[in-house]
Structure 1
Amino acid sequence: MADLKAVYAAVDEPSSLDALDLFAEHWDKKYPKISASWRENWPNLSTYFKYPQEVRRLIYTTNTIEGFNRQLRKVTKSKSVFPTDDSLFKMLYLAMMDITKKWTGRRQDWSIIHAQMALFFADRMPG
């Protein structure tokens, strides 16, 4: 994973392509489809580099999402069968409400990220 992280955490697109080349040299013998998939999808993946470093870090950091999903799994694990899909949705909704009540912390660099996102998404963000 560290080799792949060098690709998406690179400073700019050319550095990222260099990191992808290094990744391919090291891993293509064992996992040839990974770098091939990245190269095939590069036009979509490379749009990521139009954002500043802080915003990109926010995009690729998934710890919060993984923690949220882990807490939802903990709630549903004790029940193996739900009578209806609606009952599952209700339970997940209530669990989500409890989980998000505990979210009190802020990212240290949130004001910088917010200002940069306001520039990129001015039409979607309240002023």
Structure 2
Amino acid sequence: RCWVHAERNLLGYVRKNDRREIITDFKAIRQAENLQATKERLAAFSAKWESSYKRRIKNLVQMEDLFTFFSFPTAIRQTIYSTNLIESFNKSLKKMVRRKEQFPNEGALDRFIMTQVMEYNDKF
């Protein structure tokens, strides 16, 4: 799960009065300079909100894959902390494949998908 989806999931279980403050604190975790600072901010976030939302915070702390984007250079972290770009591309790819309806063999499908991926990469 990406940060955006974790954030939306968390907001679904938070009281309206706490939403603004909890989302500000949660975003501060992601905006840390490095992994160590992020883990420290997560610990502070957990300590602050655990009494009100124990189960939600526990689930959030156990998500190890939330920190994956720190493995990449700082320049591209802003674009990959969310999986929305990937999901959007997959949706458009699925739409293009359906439009084509059938392929003579699996190799033809692979080539079609690769050309779509290469065109997508050229755009960005």
Q: Which TM-score applies when normalising by structure 2?
A: 0.48
Q: Which TM-score applies when normalising by structure 1?
A: 0.47
Higher relative contact order (CA 8 A, sep 6+): 2
Q: Which has the higher helix share?
A: 2
